[in-house]
Structure 1
Amino acid sequence: MGLFTSAPKAGDKDIPEGNHIKIETEKGEILIELYPDSAPNHVANFKSLAGKGFYDGLSFHRVIAGFMAQGGDPDGNGTGGPGYAIDAEFNDRKHVRGTLAMARSANPNSAGSQFYICFGPQPHLDGQYTIFGQVIEGMQAVDDIRQGDVMTRVSVLP
């Protein structure tokens, strides 16, 4: 069982303000712009988890060269999450270099806390996964991520 029992939603009072995320890693800092207009509940979920320190100390448990780096699993093996799932918010955004999207199982409505950042364009994923942000600074740090690297802190910026 995860830490939480229900998914945060856009408009919830305890969601941190701001639409930028800073991910501090062993390889450097990554600044991400979030897309609340495209995926409001995914943005609210990510901000809520980040604001509660959920991601701090977690690793990138799945890294595939040329494809993506995936993190956000408290179990560190691709099976864990926050204890709830959120419904998909598929949108017209494209999987390009630096895209931030939510990982999920075969069930489209199974996203929780795991996310991935694309190393390059991944058009085969367009419309299949919820895109909710884009790296705007620190792409070199993303490129340098290796499996097992740790997110020391993930914070919401105003």
Structure 2
Amino acid sequence: MARRKPQALLLQSKKKKGPSGVSVPTIIVLVYILIIAVMVFSLFSIYRYWSRRSIVQTPDGISTSKAIERKKSNIPNYALISTSKGLITVELFKDGCPDIVEKFIDFSQKGHFKGMKFTRVIKNFVIYGSKVDRPEATEDCTLREKYSIQLDTSLKHDVFMLGTSKVKHESGGFDLFITTAPIPDLNDKINVFGRIIKGEDVMQEIKKVDTDDHYRPKTPVQINEVTLKHKS
């Protein structure tokens, strides 16, 4: 047998081996591993974000949770309502009705209640105040006033509670209801956000004013100003 030359043997060896490729199953496994790694990294990033959010520091060095508590403590606890009959002090339910109280405070600071008239005074029922005379707001009140004595007085609405209508006003205003008797059946219509703690005698004076057949005071009774306080 003829002996092959070294160069011929080398060329023949390279042809047999050829380039080594990566199999399809291996590529699929690598892709899955990459996807899992990205998902794990994303979940870890989300966890770090939310865990840090609770301890994020505000510019003055107070954590977010403490800043929220401080903001809440800055909300006034009381509203002093000066009327043409005298002064009324209202305790605001800022814990039970924070959204409504904040809205009431915002309207007060903008002077919305200055000059607001009590357009309906229904004895032993409610006193209603609004910048716009809306008879429909007290329509149910006038119908129920006839049998108010029969109401169960053990339910939610007590005497001299301050509330506002649950119906959104088209004008974007804010009306006021002050109960002069326990009115449990108005819970579905009025959001109570405060109670009168001083000035019950003033409320009695307003309650006794002469009204026409539509419960409108013959002599105007109005709110002169609302002052917000942290202490009564």
Q: Match for 1:121 among 165, 171, 182?
A: 182
Cα contact 1:62–1:78 (8 A) shared by 2: no
How far apart are residue 104 of structure 1 and its match? 4.2
Q: Quote how far apart the aligned CAs of 1:74 are.
A: 2.0
Greater RCO, 1 or 2 (C-alpha within 8 Å, sep 6+): 1
Residue 37 of structure 1 deviates from its aligned partner by: 1.5
Return the match for 1:25 from 76, 83, 96.
83
What code does the residue aligned with 2:178 have? I
Per the alignment, residue 115 of structure 2 pairs with 57
Aligned residues: 127
5 Å matches for 1:87-126? 94-105=156-167, 110=168, 112-126=173-187
Counting only pairs closer than 5 Å after superposition, residues 1-158 of structure 1 correspond to structure 2 as 17-71=75-129, 73-75=130-132, 77-78=133-134, 94-105=156-167, 110=168, 112-145=173-206, 146=209, 147=217, 148-158=220-230
| Structure 1 residue 18, shift from structure 2 partner | 0.8
CA distance in 1, matches of 2:192, 2:178: 10
1-structure distance, mates of 2:107, 2:203: 21
Q: Which has the larger radius of gyration?
A: 2
Matching residue's letter, 1:47: I
- Aligned mates of 2:106, 2:202 — CA distance in 1: 24
Three-state SS of the structure 2 residue aligned to 1:141 is: helix
> Cα deviations across residues 16-58 of structure 1 (Å, max 9, x unaligned)?
8312001101111000000011111110011111111110111
Structure 1 moving runs of 4+ over 3 Å:
none
Structure with the larger strand share:
1
Partner of 2:21: none
Deviation at 1:129, TM superposition (A): 2.1
Q: CA deviation at 1:126?
A: 2.8
**C-alpha separation in 1, matches of 2:79 and 2:122:** 23
8 A Cα contact 1:97 1:120, kept in partner? yes
Tell me the percent identity.
29
State the Cα distance separating 1:117 from its structure 2 match.
0.6
Residue 21 of structure 1: SS of its match in structure 2?
A: strand
Counterpart of 1:27 in structure 2: which amino acid? K
Deviation at 1:128, TM superposition (A): 4.0
Shift of 1:116: 0.6
State the superposition RMSD in angstroms. 2.4
Deviation at 1:154, TM superposition (A): 1.2
For 1:31 and 1:135, locate their aligned partners in 2 and report how far apart those are by CA, in whole Å: 6
Normalised TM-score (structure 1): 0.72
| TM-score, normalised by the number of residues in structure 2 | 0.50
Structure with the higher fraction of residues in helix conformation: 2
